[in-house]
Amino acid sequence: MTAVIHLSEIKQALSGIDVIAEMETAFGLYSQGLATVPPVGELLFDQPPGEMHIKYGAVRGDGVFVVKIATGFYENPSIGLPSSGGVVLVFSANDGRLLAILQDEGHLTDIRTAAAGAVAAKWLMPAELECIGICGSGNQARLQAQFLREVTLCRNVLIWARNAENAKNCAADIAALGFVARTAASPAELAAHARLIVTTTASRTPYLMSGDVRPGTHIVAMGADTPEKSEVDAALLGKAASVIADSHSQCFERGEIHHAIARGLLSPERVLELGAVISGPDRLFRQVADISIVDLTGVAVQDIVLAKAVCRKLGVLATA
């Protein structure tokens, strides 16, 4: 019989899972070539603006494969609805049976994205960090702050968003997590103070410009997960000492790396994968003044690993 797992059960299970460690495992499996991840399926909508992604795959030797359908409709909060939604399906890789339906309403995607941001910060951010900058004011901005608590002692945060009132509300929520949080009037002001910058918006026009970013800054760019989106000036990737992708194949087709390569500002050969950095950090010879950028487009292996962890926690899967 197929297990139907509701959001409340998923949240309860997640409270007992080290999601950051699970994401490190996921990226390691991917960069070792142990995960089969086909190209992303997607539908993009103009009016109202929205998108649907299908991400799916399997880890070699597992008894399961996972299919995730995730949606994002960014004007939903204005009508009292969440901006994200979706469902995760876990199938037997032995006989094709549907083992579990995780009715996560997009929550697993939000959590694994935030945890991936913490992983990307953990392995590359400056050793001495005085201020964190977060671009955006939505749920992911708040989650980034929540997960960054696990990997840095820095508790000073600057928030920038196009809507100043939203930025103020976001800063208040982040302050409730134990941060000293305030707003910046512009991305340039944020970049002048923060040497760890996380971008979480759905922008199609770069706003974090090359000339504004200080030496020694590490950027975690996660908003641009389609070919159309871009938050970071492509010239910044061209001059960065280290450019890291969550997935070579995905980032060469979408996100910040895609734009920099298309403009001839970045050679694909310069791009490392995050899983390779985690398993062999000595590959990075990072100097104090170096700028580094991690481009997170969201890889199905993250969904696979986290769905399995939830199902194990709830007793749906024994050892998969």
- Compute the distance between CA of residue 211 and CA of residue 234 in angstroms, rounded to an integer: 11
Q: What is the mean pLDDT of residues 104-114?
A: 96
Q: Which residue would you say has higher pLDDT here, 84 or 259?
A: 259
Q: What is the mean pLDDT of residues 37-49?
A: 93
Say whether both 307 and 252 belong to one domain. Answer: no
Residue 88 domain-assigned (yes or no): yes
Structure confidence at residue 74 as a pLDDT band (50, 70, 90): confident
Nearest of 29, 85, 84 to residue 57 by alpha carbon: 29
- Compute the distance between CA of residue 60 and CA of residue 44 in angstroms, rounded to an integer: 31
**Residue 251 to residues 26, 105, 210, 268, Cα–Cα distance (Å):** 17, 26, 20, 10
| pLDDT tens sequence across 6-20 | 999 999 999 999 999
Residue 120 domain-assigned (yes or no): no
Say whether both 239 and 256 belong to one domain. Answer: yes
| pLDDT tens sequence across 157-203 | 999 999 999 999 999 999 999 999 999 999 999 999 999 999 999 99
> What pLDDT shows up at residue 283?
62
Say whether both 194 and 205 belong to one domain. Answer: yes
Say whether both 93 and 67 belong to one domain. Answer: yes
CATH number at residue 78: 3.30.1780.10
Residue 93 domain-assigned (yes or no): yes
Say whether both 306 and 284 belong to one domain. Answer: no
> What pLDDT shows up at residue 320?
42
Say whether both 232 and 152 belong to one domain. Answer: yes
Say whether both 67 and 194 belong to one domain. Answer: no
Residue 164 domain-assigned (yes or no): yes
CATH number at residue 170: 3.40.50.720
Residue 195 domain-assigned (yes or no): yes
> What pLDDT shows up at residue 285?
64
Answer yes or no: are the C-beta atoms of 171 and 181 closer than 8 Å. yes
Number of independent structural domains in the chain: 2
Answer yes or no: are the C-beta atoms of 196 and 126 closer than 8 Å. yes
Q: What percent of the chain has pLDDT over 90?
A: 91
Say whether both 189 and 65 belong to one domain. Answer: no
- Compute the distance between CA of residue 19 and CA of residue 22 in angstroms, rounded to an integer: 5
Q: Which residue would you say has higher pLDDT here, 72 or 144?
A: 144
The pLDDT mean for the chain works out to 95
Taking the chain, what is the end-to-end CA distance rounded to the nearest angstrom?
17
Distance of CA 53 to the CA centre of its chain: 14
Say whether both 67 and 142 belong to one domain. Answer: no
Answer yes or no: are the C-beta atoms of 180 and 156 closer than 8 Å. yes
Say whether both 292 and 306 belong to one domain. Answer: no
- Compute the distance between CA of residue 234 and CA of residue 16 in angstroms, rounded to an integer: 39
> What pLDDT shows up at residue 1?
86
Residue 115 domain-assigned (yes or no): no
Say whether both 81 and 134 belong to one domain. Answer: no
Residue 318 domain-assigned (yes or no): no
> What pLDDT shows up at residue 157?
98
Per-residue DSSP letter, 156: E
Residue 319 domain-assigned (yes or no): no
Say whether both 37 and 87 belong to one domain. Answer: yes
Cα 51–Cα 52–Cα 55 angle in degrees, nearest 5:
135
Lowest mean pLDDT among 76-90, 247-261, 275-289: 275-289
318 pLDDT exceeds 80? no
User: How do the residues of the chain divide into helix, strand and coil, expressed in percent and rounded to 5?
Assistant: 35, 25, 40
Domain hosting residue 40, numbered range: 3-108+301-313
